[in-house]
Amino acid sequence: MPELRRDPVVGRWVIIDSEHSKGPLDFPKDNNTPRHHAICPFCPGREHQTPHEADAVRPPKSLPDTPGWQVRTVPNKFPVLTAEGSLAKEGIGIYDQMTGVGAHEVVIESPDHDKTLTELTREEMLSVIGQYQSRFRQLSKDARFKYVVLFKNFGSSAGATVEHAHSQIIALPMVPKTVLEEIKGAEEYHQKQSRCVFCDMIAQEYQDKERIVAENTSFLAFCPYAPRYAFETWIIPKGHSADFALADQSTQAHLAQVLQDVLKRIKKVLGNPSYNYYLHTAPVGYADPSCYHWHIEIIPKLTRSVGFEWGTGLHIVPTFPQDAARYLREV
Amino acid sequence: MPELRRDPVVGRWVIIDSEHSKGPLDFPKDNNTPRHHAICPFCPGREHQTPHEADAVRPPKSLPDTPGWQVRTVPNKFPVLTAEGSLAKEGIGIYDQMTGVGAHEVVIESPDHDKTLTELTREEMLSVIGQYQSRFRQLSKDARFKYVVLFKNFGSSAGATVEHAHSQIIALPMVPKTVLEEIKGAEEYHQKQSRCVFCDMIAQEYQDKERIVAENTSFLAFCPYAPRYAFETWIIPKGHSADFALADQSTQAHLAQVLQDVLKRIKKVLGNPSYNYYLHTAPVGYADPSCYHWHIEIIPKLTRSVGFEWGTGLHIVPTFPQDAARYLREV
């Protein structure tokens, strides 16, 4: 029998379509193996084809915009928001408008065109996480920005237009809707229970066990009880922590380990699918860090959203999270 | 310069990406011309291949599940919710669950496999609208259901798996998130302004004029100020009305006219693209009809949602609504 399940943070209901339940082999396959590309603008030696480097992990004394880097952040050549200008708001009758001021950056995650995150060494993966955090810290200093979001599109079905391993970071002049909803839900829960809803979720996951995918000293990876997508997996710090930008060196190393571990499991179980992940952290200067809990949401791109989901916000999910977790855990 | 725009009902911000602005010819093309299909289960003569007819527009004395119908509604052979059983709720620790009770129906909109909605006669189109309403009225009588949603997937990029013209109706045991958000926004606006936010939006559209696509006696079609998708178009009754199920015969005729008119414009301007539409109406037995205003949202499927949009709820739209409206209005 189909099940309706409600997410405890934002109150979103989802339908688990148990009558047409799908396992890992029931989804169409993507081919996401990178192939050598003679004119890739993200490869070393073509640094002049991107805007000037904003940040990088590179040897001391090596110069910006030259080869030698391990991770490299550049402004997006085709930004959706513009870095220049001040923030102006205007009312147009009942409508509101703001100038599209923001930052849009690309984090190139490896010099090697043929490597995806799953093939990086532990140290290389840690450099990626360190670079993410460095950008969060830097962009949070700009008074125009209220929120910084990191996201990765891997594979063309997930929206990647360049194959060379990269993530994107956008700094926004307002807190986006999805995060606002999480914060509101977490604040309401905190008011009632005097506890963090995400911390309670972690406790519940340990009690139920069946949705756990992996863990290490600092992080739990699990398939959420009320997912929006098949094989959706979250990575969350076990200890309460609102802000990714404050994660210390050893926490970053543990994140590098668990993120790579989960991506390897997804690759193995689902045959190198396209995926997206994004990092939800507290807004810049968030006043009440006891209410929010940062985390990463990973969405393998296995099905297409259709009219019903857009029209209702009600997702139909063909795989129970405990089944997805079992496949990912046992691989 | 990119613009951030806020929807006045739900408060959602969108980015209008004016730097990479797209016109009708800049999107990839679909091929959505129906072709004769020898084994289509929705064609007349194959009524036994679907579950038993729930409703139909057919000549007096013609029998259910036989040819002769103009519009025919059958339970979906692969329903995402089950029609049998009672509604049971359960708490699993901090999580909530409900049995997946609901109705899932298919409205077959023409006996003719080769006709899309744009090719129906005015009378045939009115039969489709009448059948939609008949199902809303019928399903609203079931005490288990709190909401009825109608949606159409046209073209495989929009999620259609059967080419023969049809829409789907799902009756739900709860009000879905997107509608709840609209209702909450409309109620808050009504508390402050003592007016319907949708009525104010209509007044604003008449004042600004530039986003209007078409109109007739009862309906306005326009591209909303803060759309989520390029060429997104709404059809809304000009007079305040919360509930589609209460639309009278002449209103239905006007809806048939304007819906077909807008779909023809979209087909012509965008080259027969895939699209979704869905109807948002008040929940079953909604207590405060002065706050809500039913409408249809039409989304041509021109771009793909990516990680950033899922992760933030912040849509990036490559076409200003006034430009989309001009194309659609002037075609």
Here the ipTM equals 0.90
pLDDT at B307: 63
A5, A82, A159 ranked by CB distance to B95: nearest: A5
Is B151 in contact with A311 (Cβ distance < 8 A)?
A: yes
Task: Tell me the residues of chain A between 275 and 294 that have a Cβ less than 8 Å away from chain B.
Answer: 276-278, 280
Is A97 in contact with B208 (Cβ distance < 8 A)?
A: no
- Please list every residue in chain B whose beta carbon sits closer than 8 Å to the beta carbon of residue A8: 94-96
Asked if B104 contacts B76 with a C-beta cutoff of 8 angstroms, the reply is yes
Is B176 in contact with A314 (Cβ distance < 8 A)?
A: yes
Radius of gyration of chain A (CA): 20
* Minimum Cα–Cα distance from B80: chain A residue: A17
- What is the residue-wise DSSP string for A262-273? HHHHHHHHHTS-
| 3-state class (DSSP) for residue A197 | helix
Q: Provide the shortest C-alpha distance from residue B252 to chain A (in Å).
A: 21
Mean pLDDT of B61-90: 92
Place of tokens 């659609």: B328
Please name the amino acid found at residue B47: E
Mean pLDDT of B182-192: 95
Instruction: Please give the mean pLDDT across all residues of chain B.
Output: 93
Q: For B140-179, what is each residue's pLDDT tens digit?
A: 999 999 999 999 999 988 888 889 999 999 999 999 989 9
Q: Which of A166, A254, A280, A295 is catalytic?
A: A166
Q: Provide the shortest C-alpha distance from residue A267 to chain B (in Å).
A: 18
- Please list every residue in chain B whose beta carbon sits closer than 8 Å to the beta carbon of residue A19: 78-80, 82
* B8 vs A: CB within 8 A: yes
* B230 vs A: CB within 8 A: no
B15, B152, B226 ranked by CB distance to A81: nearest: B15
Place of tokens 């408060």: B11
* Minimum Cα–Cα distance from B19: chain A residue: A80
Alpha-carbon span A133 to A142, nearest angstrom:
15
* B313 vs A: CB within 8 A: yes
Residue from A172, A229, A310 to probe the interface with B (highest B Cβ count within 10 Å): A310
pTM of the model: 0.93
Tell whether the model's pLDDT for residue B115 goes beyond 70: yes
- Please list every residue in chain B whose beta carbon sits closer than 8 Å to the beta carbon of residue A204: 93-95
Asked if A255 contacts A9 with a C-beta cutoff of 8 angstroms, the reply is no
**In this structure, what are the phi and psi dihedrals at residue B184, rounded to the nearest 5 degrees?**
-60, -45
* B192 vs A: CB within 8 A: no
Alpha-carbon span A214 to B24, nearest angstrom:
47
- Residue B194 neighbours by CB distance under 10 Å: 8
A6, A94, A277 ranked by CB distance to B95: nearest: A6
pLDDT at B53: 97
B13, B176, B311 ranked by CB distance to A312: nearest: B176
Q: Provide the shortest C-alpha distance from residue B318 to chain A (in Å).
A: 9
Is B2 in contact with A81 (Cβ distance < 8 A)?
A: yes
Name the band, by pLDDT with cuts 50, 70 and 90, for residue B234: very high
Q: For B284-294, what is each residue's pLDDT tens digit?
A: 999 889 999 99
- Sheet containing A295-300: order of strands: A55-57, A71-75, A103-108, A166-172, A147-154, A275-280, A295-300, A233-237, A219-222, A212-215
Asked if B82 contacts A19 with a C-beta cutoff of 8 angstroms, the reply is yes
Tell whether the model's pLDDT for residue B39 goes beyond 90: no
Please name the amino acid found at residue A159: G
Alpha-carbon span B154 to B273, nearest angstrom:
8
* B170 vs A: CB within 8 A: yes
Domains along chain B with CATH numbers: 3-77+96-330 (3.30.428.10)
* A319 vs B: CB within 8 A: no
A15, A208, A310 ranked by CB distance to B80: nearest: A15
Residue from B14, B16, B82, B97 to probe the interface with A (highest A Cβ count within 10 Å): B97
pLDDT at B20: 79
Q: For B303-331, what is each residue's pLDDT tens digit?
A: 876 667 777 788 899 999 999 999 999 99
- Sheet containing B55-57: order of strands: B55-57, B71-75, B103-108, B166-172, B147-154, B275-280, B295-300, B233-237, B219-222, B212-215
pLDDT at A157: 84
Is A174 in contact with B13 (Cβ distance < 8 A)?
A: yes
Q: What percent of chain B has pLDDT over 70?
A: 98
Q: In angstroms, how far is CA A257 from the centroid of its own chain?
A: 15
Q: For A217-232, what is each residue's pLDDT tens digit?
A: 999 999 999 999 999 9
pLDDT at A305: 66
Those residues whose C-beta lies under 8 Å from the C-beta of residue A222, and which sit 6 or more positions away, are A205, A211, A212, A213, A233, A234, A236, A325
Q: Residue A219: which of A205, A236, A207 has the closest Cα? A: A236
pLDDT at B305: 66
Of chain B, the end-to-end C-alpha distance in Å amounts to 28
- Residue B221 neighbours by CB distance under 10 Å: 25
Beta strand B13-16 with B3-6: parallel, antiparallel or unpaired?
antiparallel
pLDDT at B306: 63
- What is the residue-wise DSSP string for B103-170? EEEEEE--S-TT--GGGS-HHHHHHHHHHHHHHHHHHHTSTT-SEEEEEEEESGGGT-S--SSEEEEE
- Please list every residue in chain B whose beta carbon sits closer than 8 Å to the beta carbon of residue A211: none
pLDDT at A306: 63
Tell whether the model's pLDDT for residue B229 goes beyond 70: yes
Q: Which residues of B120-158 are buried (b: 16+ CB within 10 A; e: fewer)?
A: beeebbbbbbbbbbbbbebbbeeebbbbbbbbbbbbebb
Low-confidence ranges of chain A (pLDDT < 70): 36, 305-307
Q: What percent of chain A has pLDDT over 90?
A: 76
Burial bucket for residue A325 (CB in 10 Å: 0-12, 13-18, 19+): buried
Q: Residue B180: which of B155, B147, B220 has the closest Cα? A: B147
* Minimum Cα–Cα distance from B159: chain A residue: A306
